[in-house]
Amino acid sequence: AQSVTQLGSHVSVSEGALVLLRCNYSSSVPPYLFWYVQYPNQGLQLLLKYTSAATLVKGINGFEAEFKKSETSFHLTKPSAHMSDAAEYFCAVSDGGAQKLVFGQGTRLTINP
Amino acid sequence: NAGVTQTPKFQVLKTGQSMTLQCAQDMNHNSMYWYRQDPGMGLRLIYYSASEGTTDKGEVPNGYNVSRLNKREFSLRLESAAPSQTSVYFCASRAGESEWRELFFGEGSRLTVL
């Protein structure tokens, strides 16, 4: 079965600094990978997804992620953090089939002024 | 366009009480899902409905039942609530079963069982 590991349940960066949120997955076949963001008291919304078209995926709000098969990673980055980026971020992998979207445990991103 | 709407947003129950969480989507999506979110555990799938008239168990179905009332609505019922069911519940929908399609989420229903 697929699994997702997000390294670091809480990441804190200064405004303007690089954001790096780590995600590693286990998969025996090329997966579909997703990053979702959850702002306080809201549902999750899609940031970006990897569907094998390109290894570097650009998403909303200046975020991007790179699929590295050799490292089984799909880390999320943003060059310059903004206060509005404070949220919880979830990495997810599709395990095959409609029901099997497996989520990581989430990383809470805090932005310091 | 409201997207996915969940009611109620907050609920407090006593152990043994029953309740139903309602979910409706206006995007004409075929597939609908119920997840629960607990601290440090991400989202876990409770039940899903790939299409109108079908429902299937997810990762954590015990203590829950669901009804796909029509294409728009998918309800989650707790017959006899337990403290372990204290959680935030999210309904989601997707246009089809294809793995690459994104999920659209409601804003969540926060349930506390005393």
Q: How far is B59 from chain A (nearest CA, A)?
A: 9
Portion of chain B with pLDDT greater than 70, in percent: 97
Cβ contact A4:A93 at 8 Å = yes
Chain A interface residues (partner B, CB cutoff 8 A): 4, 9, 32, 34, 36, 41-46, 49, 51, 90, 94, 96-99, 101, 103-106
Q: Which of A94, A101, A50 lies closest to B92 in space, CA to CA?
A: A101
Q: What's the pLDDT at A54?
A: 83
Residue-averaged pLDDT of chain B: 93
Name which of A4, A67, A99, A108 to mutate to probe chain B: the one with the most chain B Cβ atoms within 10 A of its Cβ: A99
User: What pLDDT, in 10s, does the model give residues A3-45?
Assistant: 899 999 999 999 999 999 999 998 766 678 999 999 988 889 9
Mutate to test the interface with A, among B34, B36, B99 (most CBs of A within 10 A): B99
| Structure confidence at residue B1 as a pLDDT band (50, 70, 90) | low
Question: What are the C-alpha distances in Å from A97 to residues A85, A106, B30, B44, B105?
Answer: 31, 22, 14, 16, 19
Residue B106 has pLDDT above 80, yes or no: yes
Task: Say if residue A98's pLDDT is above 60.
Answer: no
Cα B11-B41-A9 angle, rounded to 5 deg: 115
Q: How crowded is residue B32: how many other Cβ atoms within 10 Å of its Cβ?
A: 29
* Secondary structure of residue B54 in the 3-state scheme: coil
CB contact under 8 A, A51 and B102: no
Of A49, A51, A98, Cβ closest to residue B31: A98
* pLDDT tens-digit map of B64-98: 999 998 999 999 999 999 999 999 999 999 987 67
